[in-house]
């Protein structure tokens, strides 16, 4: 039983293997990796721009809210114009 399991567990080596120096990605592989690199760069750049824009919007909204609260605190309720 054990020799059968050992025979089944061993991986046969292929008889016809190409030389490792002949197997290269070539220009197509370089182009694919370059394309992926450029795509990742552009996606990260766009993501950072969107995050920055969101932060600026939050800052402006906070400033507007603070100005509105300051204006509301300055104007007493008695000074409201009567129609």
Q: pTM, whole model, 2 decimals?
A: 0.53
Which residues fall within 8 angstroms of residue 33, CB to CB, at 6 or more apart?
Answer: 25
Q: What is the spatial distance between Cα 38 and Cα 44, in angstroms, rounded to a whole number?
A: 10
Q: What is the spatial distance between Cα 79 and Cα 65, in angstroms, rounded to a whole number?
A: 22
pLDDT by residue, tens only, the chain of 83 residues: 778 887 777 777 777 887 777 778 889 999 999 999 999 999 999 999 999 999 999 999 999 999 999 998 887 665 556 55
CA angle 29/31/34 to nearest 5° reads 110
Q: Where are the domains of the chain?
A: 44-74
Q: Coil, strand, or helix at residue 75?
A: coil
């Amino acid at each position: 039983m054990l020799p059968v399991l050992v025979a089944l567990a061993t991986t046969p080596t292929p008889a016809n293997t190409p030389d490792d120096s002949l197997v290269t990605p070539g220009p197509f592989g370089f182009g694919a990796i370059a394309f992926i690199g450029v795509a990742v760069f552009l996606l990260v750049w766009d993501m950072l721009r969107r995050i920055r824009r969101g932060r600026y919007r939050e800052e402006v909204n906070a400033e507007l809210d603070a100005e509105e609260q300051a204006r509301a605190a300055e104007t007493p309720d008695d000074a409201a114009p009567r129609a």
